Amino acid sequence: MKILLVAGALAVAASAAQAQNTASPAPTVPTVTGPAQPAAGPLTYYAFVDAYYGYDFNHANTNVRPGFLYSHNRQNEFTVNQGLVGVRYDDGHVRGAVGLHAGSYVSANYANEDPVFKHIYEAYAGFRPFAKAWLDVGIFSSHIGFESAISKDNWALTRTLMAENSPYYESGARLTYEVGPKLTLTGLVLNGWQNIRENNQAKAVGTQIQWKPTAKVLVNSSTFYGNEQPADSLIRRRYFHNFYVTYAATQRLNLALVFDVGKQQSAGRVGYDTWHAGAVFVKYQLANQLSTTLRGEYYYADRGVIINSSMPLRTAADVRLTGGALNLDYAPTTNVLVRLEGRYLHSRSPTFQRPDNQTARDYANLTSSIALSF
């Protein structure tokens, strides 16, 4: 199978090499996750499917990747990360959406949700309470992070550790105010940190500021505050901030810098456990249909806060992970994307399960994907 992956990559590169070089557009609002594009009528439809095959090197004898990876989390298996269909309505005064999805991403990320809700990608209704503002209530994509659940809209195929361990979706109410063409403000009241159903009687709050000072620069600041413990547990407040900036350096070169920092009241001791993470993306358009992205990242968590539920071997220890990924993307048409990614992670302490049931500090994989959207 490793030979097939390599051969596939060579075939993609050879086919795309015949294409003419062209300019790389500046980063745009994601096609699926963002507002529906203007159409002949207010009702629009969308669909997306991301089929993939991954292979892990020196991995435990299982088809599941390390527990802190939730997207493309299967290895040595042909499967679907996400299949999504939906409908949106927007007449400029009233809007709403319903989207349903399934796949390995859904199984991993929605494992704790009620079966009635776990296949809902989005379901919200909204209206304009006054000019330049929208009030939406329901289930929608998270206001946190540079990466979304829709893989084709991300610069790299797999997600960073910070994206995998922060919300992909939310349930609540959001008020969005368009101050001007360069500035948008959002305030949210939520059921919690990636919760559809409420797990206690406390609501969480969040904010988002998106500023576009020039056509080449986008600055985002997102916050979250709430108590994420069950109703019968002691209150442990969580504070979180996500920041990222994207820069279209040239017509072909795009850069992104992402940083997360969070604090949560400690269990069994006074004070807070802190986690922080960062990533750098460099995306370069090689040709009309071919691009590549290089990503570097790190993740640090006191006593494994947030990430420790996926790492039972290290629950009492600090988590320190670093890594990198290299992507090759080929777009034969506007609605098809073929991707191949190699990824490497390193842990300061033995973390990754090996075939001999021992643990190792290093982990590497290959992931290939074909995504179709319309």
Tens of pLDDT, residue by residue over 255-294, are: 999 999 999 988 777 888 999 999 999 999 999 999 999 9
List CB contacts of 200: < 8 A, sequence separation 6 or more: 192, 227, 229, 230, 231
- By the 8 A CB rule, do 314 and 296 touch? no
Question: Residue 131's pLDDT is what?
Answer: 94
CA angle 202, 265, 308 (to 5 degrees): 100
What is the rounded average pLDDT of the residues 150-177? Answer: 97
The answer, yes or no, to whether residue 233 has pLDDT greater than 80, is: no
* 4 DSSP 8-state letter: H
The answer, yes or no, to whether residue 23 has pLDDT greater than 60, is: no
Helix (H, G, I), strand (E, B) or coil at 178: strand
Q: Which long-range contacts (CB under 8 A, 24 or more apart) does 198-201 make?
A: 199/228, 199/230, 199/231, 200/227, 200/229, 200/230, 200/231, 201/231
Residue whose C-alpha is closest to residue 46's, from 19, 93, 86: 86
Question: Residue 304's pLDDT is what?
Answer: 86
* 75-112 pLDDT per residue, tens: 999 999 999 999 999 999 999 999 999 999 999 999 99
Question: Residue 316's pLDDT is what?
Answer: 55
* Confidence tier at 314 by pLDDT (50, 70, 90): very low
Q: How many CB atoms lie within 10 A of CB 229?
A: 19
Q: How many CB atoms lie within 10 A of CB 15?
A: 14
Kindly write down the DSSP assignment for every residue of 28-88, as one continuous string.
---TTTSPPPP-SSSEEEEEEEEEEEEEEET--SSSBPPTT--SS-B-SSEEEEEEEEEEE
Question: Residue 54's pLDDT is what?
Answer: 97
Lowest model confidence (mean pLDDT) among 21-25, 171-175, 281-285: 21-25
Instruction: Return the CATH number of 2-373, one of 3.30.2030.30, 3.40.50.620, 3.40.50.11820, 2.40.160.10.
Output: 2.40.160.10
Question: Residue 33's pLDDT is what?
Answer: 43
* 342-362 pLDDT per residue, tens: 999 999 988 888 888 888 999
C-alpha 143/C-alpha 190 separation (Å) is: 11
User: What are the residues facing 64 on neighbouring strands?
Assistant: 74
C-alpha 6/C-alpha 24 separation (Å) is: 26
- Alpha carbon 202 to its chain centroid, in Å, reads 26
The answer, yes or no, to whether residue 35 has pLDDT greater than 60, is: no
Overall pTM > 0.95: no
The more confidently predicted of residues 11 and 292 is: 292
C-alpha 269/C-alpha 275 separation (Å) is: 17
> φ and ψ at 91, to 5 degrees?
-105, 15
The more confidently predicted of residues 266 and 222 is: 222
C-alpha 354/C-alpha 367 separation (Å) is: 19
Q: Where are the domains of the chain?
A: 2-373
